[in-house]
Amino acid sequence: MRPGRLRENYIGFQTIVIKEVGRVLRIWIQTLVPPAITMTLYFIIFGSLIGSRVGQLGGFSYMAYIAPGLIMMSVITSSYTNVVSSFFGAKFGRHIEELLVSPLPNYMIVLGYVAGGVVRGLLVGILVTVIALFFTRLHMVHPFVTLSVVILTAVVFSLGGLINAVFAKKFDDVTIIPTFVLTPLTYLGGVFYSINMLPVVWQHIARANPILYMVNAFRYGILGVSDIGIGTAYVIILFFIIGLFSFSLYLLHNGVGLRS
Amino acid sequence: MPHSVTACYAWRSVKVAIFPQPAMQALSLHALTKTYKNGVQALKGISLEVQPGEFIALLGPNGAGKTTAIGIVTSLVNKTGGQVTVFGHDIDTDIEAAKSCIGLVPQEINFNQFEQVGDIVVNQGGFYGLPRRLARERAEKYLRQLSLWDKRHDMSRMLSGGMKRRLMIARALVHEPQLLILDEPTAGVDIEVRRSMWDFLKKINREGITIILTTHYLEEAENLCQRVAIIDHGEIIVQGRTRDLLEKLHSEVFILNLREPLRELRPLDGYAITQVDDTTLEVEVNKSQNVNTLFDMLSKNNIQVLSMRNKVNRLEELFVRLVKGKG
């Protein structure tokens, strides 16, 4: 590689991140406020009204038990939505060509968009955490696990959003995966319950849902309790990151959905 | 003996010692083919060489393959076969270096309509690896040269059509490419803007930037370009110096505006002449004929000519003849 190329690539990456984060902050009413409102309603309805009748779960109040899951749910949705809408918007408006004609390597384009998705996911996550603190007490039992799991999960779903955007041909295609795949998997991913409450057969089925591992690993980081092994969660998350990142590079290299 | 060349890096020129080699082309297309998934063969093995510092036009009717060829060079279209090198960098093996040499002004508006004018140019500099401060300086330089500096804080969607075209030129120049490719840059802009863009393109070409232009305005190609390549149905049907190609025309048709109305037109020996209206004549002059002789004959017939012009742009005439296979 030519000397200086690494520095130029880093500047290119930095430029994408500046653009993406600038976009998130510029349209904060669309990017940050809606998940905050939605999660506040979840806390009121599920945590306060219904949760008070559920009693304790895993040694914690129901409100405290679902808080990590709700934070993770907002991170997943926000990071995914950010990349899918931004990348598809760039494709639809054809300004993705600004990047495609530039010498910036594909892996830097992927990393730039993923970083934008992670930043939005974390901003929303912090916002929802602050809201959660109005309803319950949260102690971070394992800070490293909490932070690493939330960041890695945001990376997974940012990559997912990018792949969705590459294949999307119209705006409807951008909403299909979040509506029909992401939301059901999140709801069934142990956000509102422990899988130990399910019949044995359903427990096995639930273990096929990758979001279960992410939610539980995050819950372990905050509350110290989990339905699954933390090591398994890391392996699954890293497996998805490597798989989705490689697939993203393959798509960009071959110009799928981007080049004729 | 090694000698040095300037490599295409976005923010600095680096002298690289290399051993003698054949003269490097700004762009070389060799047997370039493209077949789309729907079976359309857009390029059927075109070959073209562009010398550094040249100003060349790619002409052709709609669907001829011009934009496909440009798309392949700029990596927006995947080629089916053939070879492309940009200042010696093969796009198959050294795509990033090749891209660093190119600035593209596409046919369609392709910047973010919700971004500010200044940000669009600065960010493009960033994608080419320009440090932020340098990108800002370059953005100012080119936005000023293209009379857009006052609009730098405006949302790009608020610009007029001509301003949007100029913005795309500023964006394409921010990394100071050695090869600028313009795909119909003056489509839909008024005459005044078009003229100012011509002046600007001539200026940067004199400064050493190689320019490839596709256009439907053949007058544009005749005025700006030293060389022309005409593409039709995915093949280059003719290429050469603009002047040499125009030599191929066997005749030209002139429109003569007369000082006084003409009641009756008598035939003039050797000239095909027709009366359009009372004060307008149309005359076809062969290359073997002389315009002075024509004027002498008109004077003898008491016909005073007020002004004269070509009926059609000469290049347009050649273009039509070649594309229709009458060349």
Q: Which of B78, B109, B128 sits opposite A102 (nearest CB)?
A: B128
Domain boundaries defined on chain B: 3-246, 252-323
Who among A5, A94, A103 is closest to B108 (CB)? Answer: A94
- Please report which confidence band the pLDDT of residue B195 belongs to, taking 50, 70 and 90 as the band edges: confident
When pLDDT is cut at 50, 70 and 90, the band that residue B4 belongs to is very low
CA distance A235 to A241: 10
CB contact under 8 Å between B97 and A8, yes or no, is no
Q: Given this model, what pLDDT does residue A1 score?
A: 65
- How many angstroms separate the CA atoms of B320 and B327, rounded? 9
Report the SS3 class of residue B47.
strand
Q: What is the pTM of this model?
A: 0.85
Is there a contact between A154 and A122 (Cβ–Cβ < 8 Å)?
yes
For A105, nearest residue in chain B (alpha carbons):
B96
Per-residue pLDDT, B10: 53
Buried b (16+ CB within 10 A) or exposed e, A121-134: bbbbbebbbebbee
Mean pLDDT over the full length of chain B: 86
- pLDDT of the residue at B238: 85
Q: pLDDT tier at B2 (50, 70, 90 boundaries)? A: very low
Q: Which fold has domain B252-323?
A: Alpha-Beta Plaits (3.30.70)
- Interchain CB distance below 8 Å, B126 and A90: no
Confidence of residue B314 (pLDDT cuts 50, 70, 90): low
Closest residue, chain A, to B74 (C-alpha): A101
Q: How confident is the model over B69-100, as pLDDT tens digits? A: 999 999 999 999 999 999 999 999 999 999 99
* Residue contact B36–A4, C-beta within 8 A: no
Nearest to A95 among B36, B112, B129 (CB): B112
User: Which chain B positions have a beta carbon within 8 Å of A4's beta carbon?
Assistant: 9, 12, 129
Mutate to test the interface with A, among B78, B115, B127, B136 (most CBs of A within 10 A): B127
The string of pLDDT tens digits covering residues B261-274 is: 887 888 877 788 88
Structure token pair of residue B262? 């003409």
Do B252-323 and B3-246 have the same topology in CATH?
A: no
Question: Are A260 and B113 inside 8 Å of each other by CB?
Answer: no
Instruction: Sheet containing B27-35: give its strands across.
Output: B41-50, B27-35, B81-86, B89-90
* Amino acid residing at B169: I
Phi, psi angles (nearest 5°) of residue A152: -65, -35
Longest dimension (CA), chain B: 76
Helix (H, G, I), strand (E, B) or coil at B95: helix
| A2–B106 CB contact, under 8 Å | no
Identify the pLDDT of residue B19: 46
Asked if A227 and A145 count as a contact pair (C-beta separation under 8 A), the reply is no
Contacts with A121 (C-beta within 8 Å, 6 or more apart), sequence order: A75, A76, A78, A79, A82, A150, A153, A154, A157, A158
pLDDT per residue over A180-229, tens digit each? 999 899 988 888 888 888 888 988 999 999 999 999 999 999 999 998 99
CB contact under 8 A, B124 and A259: no
As for the ipTM of the complex, it is 0.90
Over residues B141-161, the pLDDT tens digits come to: 999 999 999 999 999 999 998
DSSP string, chain A: --TTHHHHHHHHHHHHHHHHHHHHHHTHHHHTHHHHHHHHHHIIIIIIIIHHHH-EETTEEHHHHHHHHHHHHHHHHHHHHHHHHHHHHHHHTTTHHHHHTSS--HHHHHHHHHHHHHHHHHHHHHHHHHHHHHHS----S-HHHHHHHHHHHHHHHHHHHHHHHHH--SHHHHHHHIIIIIHHHHHTTTSSS-GGGS-HHHHHHHTT-HHHHHHHHHHHHHHS--SS-HHHHHHHHHHHHHHHHHHHHHHHHHTTTT--
- Low-confidence winner among A30-39, B32-41, B167-176, B256-265 (lowest mean pLDDT): B256-265
B104, B109, B131: residue with CB nearest A101: B104
**So what's the architecture of B3-246 in CATH?**
3-Layer(aba) Sandwich (3.40)
Q: Chain A residue closest to B121 (CA)? A: A98
Confidence check: pLDDT of B16 > 70: no
Pairing of strands B280-286, B235-241: unpaired
Say if the Cβ atoms of A105 and B96 lie within 8 Å.
Answer: yes
Query: In angstroms, rounded to a whole number, what is the distance separating the alpha carbons of residues B162 and B192?
Result: 10
Specify which residues B307 forms β-bridges with.
Answer: B257
Residues of A with Cβ-Cβ distance to B123 under 8 angstroms: 15, 18-19, 98
Show residues of chain B in contact with A15, CB under 8 Å: 123, 126-127
Contacts of A93 in chain B (CB under 8 A): 110, 112-113
**Nearest beta carbon to residue B113 from set A8, A11, A93:** A93
Among candidates B9, B76, B97 on the partner chain, residue whose Cβ is nearest the Cβ of A259:
B76
Section A145-174 average pLDDT:
96
Per-residue pLDDT of B204-216, as tens digits, reads 999 999 999 998 7
